[in-house]
Amino acid sequence: MVFLAPVPTFYQIYKKKSTEGFQSIPYVVALLSAMLWIYYALAKREHSFLLLTINTFGVGVESLYIAIFLVCASHKARLSTIKLLVLCNVFGFGGMVVSTLYLTKASERISIIGWVCLVFNIGVFASPLGIIKKVIETRSVAFMPLSLSFFLSLNAIMWFFYGFLLNDYYIALPNTLGFLFGIVQMVIYLIYKNSNEVDPKKLQELNGHIIDIVKMGTNTMVISGPNQVANSGDENPNNGK
């Protein structure tokens, strides 16, 4: 459900052919995390079936999300996403695999991989927190998917007990923080969900253009002309005023 939670978001991105104010960072980090957990499961072997299956599914889903993002993103957003993918998912992951295979002892390998996975698992939970600044500045939750925050919190509880019962604290420990991060995101959502006050200048600084949205998924955001939708580079941002 965590991996599938962004489906409504990416349906809207594909439908509008624009990423608008959405960021690719959470999905790049989630892809890297899934790749790391697969590597951890292959190294651990014992009690690794569930880790392998869900994270293999995750790699496929997150790759699809990123592909849609790259197709629909602006040139600047596309370039920054590609740089992030190359830096993290190619050089970062590749460097970690090579170093643990050839520069560490077999007895230490699982522990090192486990700690790396622990840190990146926290990153997956924390990555949507970057949206909070945008929510506060625009007083709108249009770019903060509540479903993702909710399922991250629920997911954290489930994986905490799974890791705890297996005495695998590389799985259990980050999920305690993951639950807290999810709660913070949902509280922010509840605070701003009914706010329609948006400073167009601030939104333009964030996105490079003013976006007119009547409805996106389950969130509502009205900025200027309520009956128009302006895509980057297609419409004058002052239309409808």
Residue 220, pLDDT above cutoff 80: no
Q: pLDDT confidence of 29, banded at 50, 70, 90? A: confident
Residue 128 confidence (pLDDT)? 62
- Tell me the average pLDDT of the chain: 76
Two tokens at 109?
């390998």
How many residues are recorded in the chain?
A: 241
Two tokens at 140?
């709108």
Residue 223, pLDDT above cutoff 80: no
At 163-214, the pLDDT tens digits run: 899 888 888 888 888 788 778 888 888 888 776 555 545 544 444 332 332 2
Two tokens at 160?
């905490």
**Where do we find the tokens 């439908």?**
15
At 32-81, the pLDDT tens digits run: 988 999 999 998 888 888 889 999 999 999 999 999 999 988 888 899 99
Going along the chain from its start, the domains and CATH numbers come out as: 1-103 (no CATH), 105-195 (1.20.1280.290)
Per the CB < 8 A criterion, the answer to whether 30 and 85 are in contact is no
Query: What percentage of the chain reaches a pLDDT higher than 70?
Result: 76
Residue 225 confidence (pLDDT)? 33
Q: pLDDT confidence of 237, banded at 50, 70, 90? A: very low
- For residue 50, give the H/E element and its range: helix 49-72
* Rounded Cα gap, residues 136 and 134, in angstroms: 5
| Contacts for 114 with CB less than 8 Å, ≥ 6 apart | 40, 170
At 98-117, the pLDDT tens digits run: 999 888 887 788 889 989 88
The amino acid sitting at 211 is: I
Per the CB < 8 A criterion, the answer to whether 212 and 18 are in contact is no
Phi, psi of 145 (to 5 degrees): -70, 110
Residue 221, pLDDT above cutoff 60: no
Which of 22, 49, 87, 20 is CA-nearest to residue 229?
Answer: 20
The whole-model pTM stands at 0.67
Q: pLDDT confidence of 217, banded at 50, 70, 90? A: very low
